[in-house]
């Protein structure tokens, strides 16, 4: 009887080991599955935490278009507990698809908006201090841009640029088959390391497009007419962060309270900084 119990005990142990061995690869596979980071969970009130790959922000997935260094894109908490996205670029750093003459630390979503829709986006942005931005025509420093299509090599149809000491809002449309650039508003001597509240309302059209822009609660652009590249199926998509011509200095730009939607954001647009 004792021998039988001993045999049963051995068989029971062997069965348990077999079951464990079967389950082990599944457990390891589950443990090795990489969870996509959420900026709200990563952000700390103490310091900036890196977001080196794609991540979620406000329930939307954002692609990381940067050199993906620990400092390229990160998240922190503001004094009032908002999630702040921090972008840093250094000379010679860009996304894997960029040529050598460009520096980039940006994010974008895969969301595309129809051309017949009025699209809003609003955000607070802070341009870091301690670096200079060229103002010559061959240089650029873009902190926000609307593109018609990922494969379109034309410049963005709406761009927010730092030119020297100024913040400039540009719009483009098509004339004789080529993009034409319009300066819509220029904020001279943009304050560094201070939050700016920006909101835009736009619609892409060859005839009845619109572009309205608010800066720190004041409407600075009110335009109806040709806006954007209407030769695309969609209106476009938005990218933000830092996209610049090759420069040697380190640069930092921060964003918070970023919203992109077809819902009316007039109340948000009219908020002072």
Cα 75 to Cα 23: distance, rounded to the nearest angstrom:
37
Q: Do 77 and 148 lie in a common domain? A: yes
The pLDDT assigned to 224 comes to: 98
CB atoms closer than 10 angstroms to residue 237: 19
Q: What CATH number did the domain enclosing 223 receive? A: 2.60.120.200
Cα 142 to Cα 163: distance, rounded to the nearest angstrom:
9
Domains: count for the chain: 2
Q: Do 11 and 101 lie in a common domain? A: no
Q: How many helices (H) and strands (E) does the chain have?
A: 3, 18
Q: Do 25 and 5 lie in a common domain? A: yes
Please tell me what DSSP assigns to residue 42: H
Q: Do 102 and 161 lie in a common domain? A: yes
Q: Do 4 and 94 lie in a common domain? A: no
Cβ-based burial of 250 (10 A; exposed 0-12, middle 13-18, buried ≥19): middle
The pLDDT assigned to 20 comes to: 40
Average pLDDT along the chain, 273 residues, taken 10 residues at a time: 46 42 41 79 93 94 96 95 97 93 94 90 96 90 92 93 97 95 97 96 95 98 96 89 95 97 96 83
Q: Which domain holds residue 26?
A: 1-33
Q: Do 157 and 233 lie in a common domain? A: yes
* 0.95 exceeded by pTM: no
The pLDDT assigned to 6 comes to: 46
Longest dimension (CA), the chain: 98
């Amino acid at each position: 009887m004792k021998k039988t119990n001993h045999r049963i005990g051995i068989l029971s142990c062997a069965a348990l080991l077999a079951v464990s061995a079967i389950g082990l690869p599944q457990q390891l596979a589950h443990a090795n599955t990489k969870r996509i980071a959420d900026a709200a969970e990563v952000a700390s009130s103490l310091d900036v935490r890196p977001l080196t790959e794609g991540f979620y922000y406000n329930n939307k997935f954002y692609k990381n278009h940067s050199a993906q260094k620990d400092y390229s894109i990160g998240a922190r908490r503001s004094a009032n507990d908002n999630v702040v996205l921090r972008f840093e670029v250094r000379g010679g750093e860009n996304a894997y698809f960029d040529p050598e003459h460009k520096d980039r630390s940006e994010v974008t979503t895969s969301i595309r908006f129809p051309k017949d829709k009025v699209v809003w986006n609003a955000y607070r942005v802070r341009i870091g201090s301690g670096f200079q931005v060229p103002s010559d025509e061959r240089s650029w420093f873009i902190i926000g841009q609307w593109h018609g299509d990922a494969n379109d090599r034309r410049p963005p149809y709406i761009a927010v640029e730092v030119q020297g000491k100024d913040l400039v809002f540009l719009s483009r449309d098509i004339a004789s088959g080529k993009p034409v650039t319009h300066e819509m508003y220029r904020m001279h001597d943009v304050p560094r390391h201070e939050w700016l509240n920006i909101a835009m309302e736009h619609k892409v059209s060859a005839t009845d497009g619109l572009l309205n822009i608010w800066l720190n609660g004041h409407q600075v652009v009110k335009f109806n007419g040709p806006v954007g590249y209407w030769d695309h199926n969609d209106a476009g998509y938005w990218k933000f962060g830092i996209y610049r011509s090759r420069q040697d200095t380190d640069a930092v730009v921060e964003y918070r309270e970023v919203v992109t939607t077809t819902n009316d954001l007039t109340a948000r647009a009219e908020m002072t900084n």
